[in-house]
Amino acid sequence: MSSVESQQDKYFNKMTLLSGMVGSGKTYAIRETVKKKIATNKTYIIQHTNDFGSLCEELKGNLIVVNNVVEINMFSFYPASYTSGDYYTYLFDCHCKELFVFLKLLLERDMWNVEKVQLMNAILEMYESVGITKGRFNPNYKYAPKHLCFSTFCEVLKEHSDNLYKEFKVYSPLMVEDKNISNYFDKKNRGLDLKNNLNLIYTNGMYSLAVLYSYVVAIKRKMRIEPEPTLLVVDEGFLFLKVEHLLETLILNSGASSVQTELLISIQSLTDLSENLNEILSAANKVILFRQNRNETPILEVNLKLPKDVVKQTHSLPTGEAMVIEDKHMYSIKYS
């Protein structure tokens, strides 16, 4: 395994950005990609509208409908066989940062700097109290990792900030703390005659960023400790790409799975990427442009540096046809 320095800031080995107007062929292209890769890749699809329900049924996948509760125990930390060393430290750092972001998203407000310090100190103290530190995973009793949960965290937080404690306690009813994050997707299939190669996460029109974030974290943590060929599809990815913390977790911190994982993000408009546009385009090694709205012209010309005649061509592409930009080369593709 390569050193943590080469892993911790690495993008996915393959990241594809699909952009196109409604009805331009993006959904069909994603379906064909999933069908092609499902035999050799663990596949996760996060969808906001039910465009892939029939695909999930056809491939005997696992449908997970997101509710307005946090089903995943974000506080449980299980690093598998990594109990010390550089990669363990990397796993612990990722875990704490993601937990911090989750709690910050839960508040749905900006935090003062002093509050951020109090929050992170409470996180670290909670783990240290049971023998889990940045340097070593050495729980001081057998079931300590399973007992780490939202209520435990709140009790620790109370010692750091009574105001934050009272604010977070309001969210207690949203927490369902009976799922271990490392095998969450396998547990979802328990007792069901379904293949687990495909997991379709349907947000059901639910846009709680904290809840949505918890599913992304569940996928990423599983990928880090159990590296395997994986395809992660985010349909209508504008929600992730406009929020800095969601974007960072989505495209970075893949650890040992970086070289085996492909990330595919679909959006309707490049303008949805707002201030994160350049970072996303830098991370993507492939951009697939289906039919584009004329409002995209400045981005196509300035950011993607496409010739004016090519930009004009993207405005009238037939359904299912696209222009692909990959490794500074451009070519046409047709999905049919």
What is the secondary structure of 295-306 as a DSSP string?
Answer: GGHHIIIIIS--
pLDDT one-digit tens code per residue, 205-224: 766 888 888 888 888 888 88
Cα–Cα distance between 130 and 147 in angstroms, integer? 10
pLDDT one-digit tens code per residue, 257-292: 777 889 999 999 998 887 788 888 888 889 999 999
Other CB atoms closer than 10 Å to residue 109's CB: what's the count? 8
According to CATH, where is 3.40.50.300 located in the chain?
A: 4-68+185-334
Tell whether pTM > 0.85: yes
Reported confidence tier of residue 256, pLDDT bands at 50, 70, 90: confident
Reported confidence tier of residue 64, pLDDT bands at 50, 70, 90: confident
Residue 288, Cα to own-chain centre: how many angstroms? 20
DSSP E strands, 203-242: 230-234
Q: Is the pLDDT of residue 6 over 70?
A: no
CATH architecture of 86-174: Orthogonal Bundle (1.10)
At 204 the pLDDT is 78
Phi, psi of 303 (to 5 degrees): -80, -40
What would the two tokens of residue 291 be? 């039919």
At 174 the pLDDT is 87
CATH architecture of 4-68+185-334: 3-Layer(aba) Sandwich (3.40)
CA distance readout (Å), 53 to 50, 146, 172, 307? 6, 33, 32, 38
Mean pLDDT of the chain: 86
Residues 6+ apart with CB under 8 A from 287: 16, 17, 19, 281, 304, 324, 325, 326
Q: Is the pLDDT of residue 181 over 90?
A: no
Q: Which of 210-224, 234-248, 308-322 shows the lowest per-residue confidence on average (mean pLDDT)? A: 234-248
Share of the chain above pLDDT 90, in %: 54
What would the two tokens of residue 253 be? 């911190």
According to CATH, where is 1.10.8 located in the chain?
A: 86-174
Q: Is the pLDDT of residue 171 over 50?
A: yes
Give strand pairing partners of 326. Answer: 286, 329
Give strand pairing partners of 201. Answer: 46, 64
Q: Is the pLDDT of residue 160 over 80?
A: yes
